[in-house]
Structure formats: structure tokens, C-alpha cells
């Protein structure tokens, strides 16, 4: 029991068995889409929302996924069941499939579907308690009129270039701006700041960021807790001047930022508002979701 991988209708347990064609356009050109999904205490969190976003991305790229949404949800649940774990990270990938050396998608008759159930640890445990040190990257976020940021595609070169900068400067994470100088997101996560007591700010999607499912969940939680949630453009100066800052993502969950570009955020420690939101998020994730022990999946 442990890792489990679904590959085009079959299940394998090792990375070595999970083989795809070298001519797959996901490998050759990054032509595909993916989702990162969490399982907490045997429950798949926000499963339908992730599957829905996957299929919306597929529509934009004109990839005909050879499964219905309901069949995909059942495949995710079964993959998690077979792993034997209760706390899992699921990486769901759909590529254009094998073709030739040309770009023509018509040469790829059948998409490749891979579902990987495994463990994840994006940051050391102490970073969740002490906070991240981040830098502003010179690599700008892709313009949404060039590559729509709502397509969660396999082409992550933009983010990888920013991550290379982050590593070079010895930081934990990097903040990416758009071509107008507004904050978009981190290299792999959405970003929030808190100013003026209970006002929570996050950049709007039209600037070129992905509308993360964890981002939306935190926004809804914050509203229920009485915070004013404001989606508006802001510059890195606003992060410098904020009381608190934190990142969100399915992989990272919620993690605090305590320093950016050598400047302390607030008092340089994870703040009380972050802790309050984190506590509410953790209670939700451990009580809601599709149970993997059940044989049925409701859509």
C-alpha cells in the first residue's frame, strides 16, 4: 500500500511502471492540463470543483477527455482507495496524447490520462510555523491575452523561470508581477495581504493569475468570519506596507509570509488573522469532501 497511479484505465504502484510514450505531446510540447487535489482524513476535498476546472481547461485547449466528469471523479476516488492512505496529494494529468514531431493536434488521436496518488511536502514543517521569506521576481507573469491564466496547463516554463530566480536568491518563494507591475501570484500559489484590521486583499484574476480553488475557499471562509474581502490590483509596495501576508494553494495549503525583498511583513511573525483563517480552513478540510471509502461518487 502507498503510492498508486492510474494510467489510461490501468493501475500501477511504482513510478517505473507508469510509462507513457516519448512521442506524447504532453512531454514534447507541454500540451496538456492538470489539477492538484488534496485528500484529508479519507475525504477528497473540493473534488467536483477540481474536475470541473479540468474539463473547462480541456474545452479551451480542445482536448476531448475520453471519460465523463463522473467517470473521472470515480477514477480519482478509486486511485485514492487503492493507495491505502487517508492523507494524499492527487496529481491528475491529461495530455494531448501521443502523436508525431509536428504541432498539429489532429495527429494525437487519444489523450493520455494519469492520476497519481502520493504524499507531498512543498515546504518544511517549520516554514508553516515561522513563515516564508520571499522575493519579487523579474520574470513577469504571462499576459492573459497570450496564454489564458485560467487554463491550468502543463506549460509551466513561466513559473519555472521565476522559481529559478527564487532559488538563486536563496528565498523560499517568489512573487510574480504582470507586465504593468501589479502583483499576480507566487510561482505556484495565490497571494493575500491584510491591511486595516479585517480587510483581506487579493489580486483579481484578470491581471493574469489562476483563480485557485484554495484561494476561493479562503475568500469564502474569510467572508463568513466577518472579513471584508477585496479583489483589486496592488503593487509590491502594498505587500511591504501590509500587516500580514500569506499564500494559498492545494499543495501549499495556507502558509505565512514574514519577509519580502528584505523587508519584514508586519512584525515579522505569522499574524493572528492568518492563524484564524488557517484554523477555519483546517476544520473545513478535515470534515468535508467525498469519502474515499465509499464506492459511490455524487456529482
For residue range 93-126, list pLDDT tens digits in order.
Answer: 999 999 999 999 999 999 999 999 999 888 989 9
**Of 295 and 7, which is predicted with more confidence?**
7
Alpha-carbon gap, residue 92 to 192, rounded angstroms: 26
Give the pLDDT confidence of 179-192 residue by residue, as tens digits: 999 999 999 999 99
Which pLDDT does position 272 carry in this prediction?
96
Which pLDDT does position 67 carry in this prediction?
97
Q: Where are any strands of DSSP class E within 103-198?
A: 112-118, 132-136, 173-177, 183-186, 190-195
Beta bridge partners of 115: 6, 92
CA distances from 141 to 1, 45, 158, 180, 235 (A): 40, 28, 7, 10, 14
Architecture of domain 4-120: 2-Layer Sandwich (3.30)
**Residue 152 is among the residues annotated as catalytic for this protein:** yes
Which pLDDT does position 294 carry in this prediction?
63
Alpha-carbon gap, residue 92 to 33, rounded angstroms: 8
Catalytic residue among 74, 125, 130, 152: 152
Name the residue ranges covered by the structural domains of the chain: 4-120, 125-285
**150 C-beta neighbours (distance < 10 Å), count:** 16
Do 45 and 51 meet the contact criterion of CB atoms below 8 Å apart?
Answer: no
Give the pLDDT confidence of 60-100 residue by residue, as tens digits: 999 999 999 999 999 999 999 999 999 999 999 999 999 99
CA atoms within 13 A on the CB side of 40: 16
Which pLDDT does position 293 carry in this prediction?
83
CA atoms within 13 A on the CB side of 284: 18
Chain CA centroid to CA 197, Å? 28
Do 77 and 44 meet the contact criterion of CB atoms below 8 Å apart?
Answer: yes
Which pLDDT does position 196 carry in this prediction?
87
Rounded average pLDDT over 220-244? 98
Name the average pLDDT for the chain. Answer: 95
Q: Is a pLDDT exceeding 90 seen at residue 299?
A: no
| pLDDT confidence band for 5 (50 / 70 / 90) | very high
**C-alpha torsion angle, residues 280, 232, 151, 158 (rounded to 10):** -100
Q: Which fold has domain 125-285?
A: D-amino Acid Aminotransferase; Chain A, domain 2 (3.20.10)
Q: Confirm whether 4-120 and 125-285 share one CATH topology.
A: no
Give the pLDDT confidence of 20-62 residue by residue, as tens digits: 999 999 999 999 999 999 999 999 999 999 999 999 999 999 9
Q: What is the pairing mode between strands 253-260 and 132-136?
A: parallel
Q: Using CB atoms within 10 A of its CB, is residue 224 exposed (0-12), middle (13-18) or buried (19+)?
A: exposed
Q: Is a pLDDT exceeding 90 seen at residue 200?
A: yes
Amino acid at each position: 500500500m502507498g503510492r498508486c497511479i492510474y494510467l489510461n484505465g490501468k493501475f500501477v504502484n511504482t513510478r517505473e511502471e507508469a510509462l507513457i510514450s516519448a512521442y506524447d505531446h504532453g512531454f514534447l510540447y507541454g500540451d496538456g492540463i492538470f489539477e492538484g487535489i488534496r485528500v484529508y482524513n479519507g475525504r477528497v476535498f473540493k473534488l467536483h470543483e477540481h474536475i470541473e476546472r479540468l474539463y473547462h481547461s480541456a474545452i479551451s485547449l480542445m482536448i476531448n477527455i475520453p471519460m465523463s466528469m463522473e467517470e473521472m471523479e470515480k477514477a480519482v476516488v478509486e486511485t485514492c482507495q487503492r493507495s491505502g492512505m487517508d492523507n494524499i496529494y492527487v496529481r491528475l494529468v491529461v495530455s494531448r496524447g501521443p502523436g508525431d514531431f509536428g504541432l498539429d493536434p489532429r495527429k494525437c488521436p487519444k489523450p493520455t490520462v494519469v492520476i497519481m496518488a502520493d504524499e507531498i511536502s512543498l515546504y518544511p514543517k517549520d516554514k508553516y510555523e515561522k513563515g516564508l521569506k520571499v522575493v519579487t521576481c523579474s520574470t513577469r507573469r504571462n499576459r492573459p491575452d497570450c496564454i489564458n491564466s485560467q487554463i491550468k496547463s502543463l506549460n509551466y516554463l513561466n513559473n519555472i523561470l521565476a522559481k529559478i530566480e527564487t532559488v538563486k536568491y536563496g528565498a523560499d518563494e517568489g512573487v510574480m508581477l504582470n507586465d504593468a507591475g501589479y502583483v499576480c501570484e507566487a510561482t505556484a500559489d495565490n497571494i493575500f495581504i491584510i491591511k486595516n484590521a479585517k480587510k483581506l486583499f487579493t489580486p483579481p484574476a484578470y491581471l493574469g493569475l489562476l483563480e485557485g480553488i484554495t484561494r476561493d475557499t479562503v475568500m469564502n471562509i474569510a467572508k463568513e468570519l466577518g472579513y471584508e474581502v477585496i479583489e483589486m490590483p496592488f503593487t509590491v509596495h502594498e505587500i511591504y506596507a501590509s500587516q500580514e501576508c500569506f499564500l494559498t494553494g492545494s499543495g501549499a495549503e495556507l502558509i505565512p509570509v514574514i519577509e519580502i525583498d528584505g523587508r519584514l511583513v508586519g512584525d515579522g511573525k505569522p499574524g493572528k488573522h492568518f492563524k484564524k483563517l488557517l484554523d477555519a480552513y483546517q476544520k473545513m478540510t478535515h470534515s468535508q469532501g467525498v469519502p474515499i471509502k465509499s464506492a459511490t461518487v455524487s456529482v
